[in-house]
Homo-oligomer: A and B are copies of this chain.
């Protein structure tokens, strides 16, 4: 593999890196509604004759957590088309976003998977001149939709990587799959991809995520470790209204049931197997001041550094909901809105990544591990899927300047790091192909 030529090809896309990223940023789409983003990716690939799958060929619809209702989907499809999505492609997506480029060398060899996520956050982007995307005219034009986690950059890297690899496919071994995953925010999309079987033949899987650094940049961490297991869930409590003055006793107070459930849950946060988290992120209930409230709804999540501890905490929380509802004569409904297991890349593979990327001169430094304690990413599902089969996976961090915390409405990153990301992926392939060819 003529790695130095490939790297130069990456550099030839400098304008595209910026243009694609900003286009995605401006037309940010939240989980399961990335119709325009997916359309743009597919068109880019098809223009280059790169084989691409999408729609029900990449998604198992039985595992699409928090999938939106038809009304929202149609509204977002219409919006996507108005803003330049290909109507035919959108129609063929059948309501399911995401895509996979399949680059087959035609030679025997391993199957390596690279995963890039493509959805945005449900955040209203800052509209101030101090915020570069706004000042330079590429801030999100969609209300409550903002790329505040860098997935616009991830998608862009995936596209360029696919282009360079396909152009040089004769130099590869086996196959490379580049997955453009929808709905990573809330850990809602990876399982649908895994359960479609796309990773069943993978020998290695690599994820990549932009992270802030205070040191020299761009830089690379071989893998993230310590991703927590999590369950995202919505709880609806149904009671019965009554007049708060005349007959409070004939009502079944849904707000009080929620209060008691939430209060009780806190007692289950201790676990000898590791730290845990529980958050009631939003709550809403009741209809009027003088009416015993007949309904209450809350959005919650549990997390833990240990998968069993997370399961116990989630089950205990639901047990508290059940118990409180019994005590208050209410019924309840729990809806799983997302979930993923704990995740840590393999350290020996991470060490190889560090070694492999020594040839990427864009990178100022390399480190073995980035501890992402308390964070979650549903790439953990993909890692688990490989690790359960005795295969290896790593969730690399591309470290760069970022203007704020992740998920903040002032988030912006330095686009000049993106080529380094693509080159790192190429260097990894180069490293393992060399090994295979040298028979080690």
A interface residues, Cβ below 8 angstroms from B:
122, 186, 228, 230, 232, 243-250, 253, 255-256, 259-260, 262-264, 266-293, 296, 299-301, 303, 309, 312, 316, 319-320, 322-324, 326-328, 337, 373-376, 405, 407
Contact = CB atoms under 8 A, between A and B. Distances in A.
A122 to B, nearest CB: 7
A228 B285 CA distance: 25
Contacts of A244: 277, 279, 281, 301, 303
A255 B228 contact: no
Contacts of A282: 255, 284-289, 293
Given A290-B301, A323-B327, A327-B323, A277 B248 contact: yes
A247 B264 contact: no
Nearest to A313: B249
B272 A269 contact: no
Closest 6 CB pairs of A and B: A282-B286, A266-B266, A323-B323, A281-B289, A244-B279, A323-B327
Contacts of A280: 255-256, 286, 293
Contacts of A122: 288
A249 B271 contact: yes
Interface centre among A230, A275, A328 (most CB of B within 10 A): A275
Given A280-B255, A283-B284, A323-B327, A248 B270 contact: yes
15 contacts: A243-B405, A245-B272, A245-B375, A245-B376, A247-B374, A248-B271, A249-B309, A253-B267, A259-B262, A264-B324, A266-B267, A271-B275, A274-B275, A283-B293, A289-B337
A342 to B, nearest CB: 12
A275 B274 CA distance: 6
Contact of A249 (B230, B270, B323): B270
Residue of A243, A245, A271, A291 contacting most chain B CB atoms (<10 Å)? A245
A186 B245 CA distance: 12
Contacts of A293: 279-283
